Amino acid sequence: TIADPACGTGGFFLAAYDYLVANNKLDKDQNKFIKLETFYGNEIVAGTRRLALMNMFLHNIGDIDSDNFISPADALIAASPVTYDYVLANPPFGKKSSQTFTNDEGEQEKDDLTYNRQDFWATTSNKQLNFVQHIRSMLKTTGVAAVVVPDNVLFEGGAGETVRKKLLETTDLHTILRLPTGIFYAQGVKANVIFFDNKPASKNPWTKEIWVYDYRTNIHHTLKKNPLNIEVLKDFIACYNPTNRHQRKELFNAETNPEGRWRKFTYEEIIARDKTSLDISWLKDKSLADLDNLPDPDILAADIIENLEAGLASFREIMLKLESKE
């Protein structure tokens, strides 16, 4: 079974379906299982959910009389009644969960939304941290997950540090893929993919080492001129070694290959870091020193605009909160 608690239009489901069909000879019963009992998701935006159901139906997943495998409910409200083998997710970006309500003057206001769940390690309004906690709870004890998260999930203190420590203890968080800016989120927002395997309860931490692939430093992609595709990720896939990830080889070597993008860190090294930060980089950013290596002017201009707009949006949010308290 494969789940996505924020499935959008079903992109991850379709990619998983295509992979399963292309790489396996399926009999009649297996085809029926994939069609009706493999994929489960949540999508709270009604129009997006309808698109997801249509996309799935066009790929022969589900049937026209039943749409209950993609729920319209907010996945974070309660623990999933069912656990799954795989969770693939790109939770919506936006640092805080919020709800909109009408105040006594008839004006629309937003208020931070926190989810008080007994199975969560930390109570927070940070949407991504809540999704990471929820996804861990969705997995079978043998389940595995790949989740897209922004940088703040990897370095934020407080609830972020609590969630990271618990994730390292209760799962085997074995791989982090650092992606260039603008791949999953708006330009200027940096994304990562964290890979972890759920485990049964144990006295000792399950994570022994974390492998980090830095596909961010000195890498530039644009949607038009240089889009990200499977070809550029082949080196990461080879390093990940999906056939046996316990037999991996580092590319990084402090003396012979300091530019290696694939590096291993022990659990002890991670725990010793400030706030148990998983925001790890070691490659020298050549664009800071090498003027010949700068991105194209239009990319730089777009970065500047995006950063300024993001800053203005944050200030507007602060102003609205201050005004609502007056």
Q: Is the pLDDT of residue 66 over 70?
A: no
Average the pLDDT over each of 16-30, 90-104, 182-196, 235-249 and give the range with the smallest value.
90-104
Q: Is the pLDDT of residue 160 over 50?
A: yes
Tokens 């550029």 label which residue? 232
pLDDT at residue number 307: 73
CATH assignment at residue 284: 3.40.50.150
Residue 96 maps to a domain? yes
123 torsion bin: left (phi>0), alpha (psi -120 to 50), beta (else): beta
Task: Count CA atoms closer than 13 A to 38's CA, side-chain side.
Answer: 19
Chain-centroid distance, C-alpha 270? 20
194 touches 147 (CB < 8 A): yes
pLDDT at residue number 67: 58
- Which residues, at least 6 apart from 262, have a Cβ–Cβ distance to it below 8 Å? 211, 212, 213, 236, 239, 248, 250, 251, 252
Cβ atoms < 10 Å from Cβ of 79: 15
Q: What percent of the chain has pLDDT over 90?
A: 51
Residue 310 maps to a domain? no
Question: Number of structural domains, the chain?
Answer: 1
Q: Classify 230 as helix, strand or coil.
A: helix
Residue 140 maps to a domain? yes
**Residue ranges making up the domain that contains 131:** 76-288
Q: Residue range 172-184: average pLDDT?
A: 87
Residue 123 maps to a domain? yes
pLDDT at residue number 93: 75
pLDDT at residue number 52: 92
Residue 4 maps to a domain? no
Amino acid letter, 66: S
Residue 37 maps to a domain? no
Residue 304 maps to a domain? no
pLDDT at residue number 100: 44
pTM score of the predicted model: 0.82
Q: Which DSSP symbol is given to 252?
A: -
Q: Residue range 99-110: average pLDDT?
A: 48
Q: Which of 62-76, 102-116, 172-186, 252-266 has the highest mean pLDDT?
A: 252-266
Mean pLDDT, the chain, as a whole number?
85
Rg (CA), the chain: 21
Residue 69 maps to a domain? no
Cα separation of 173 and 223, whole Å?
Answer: 30
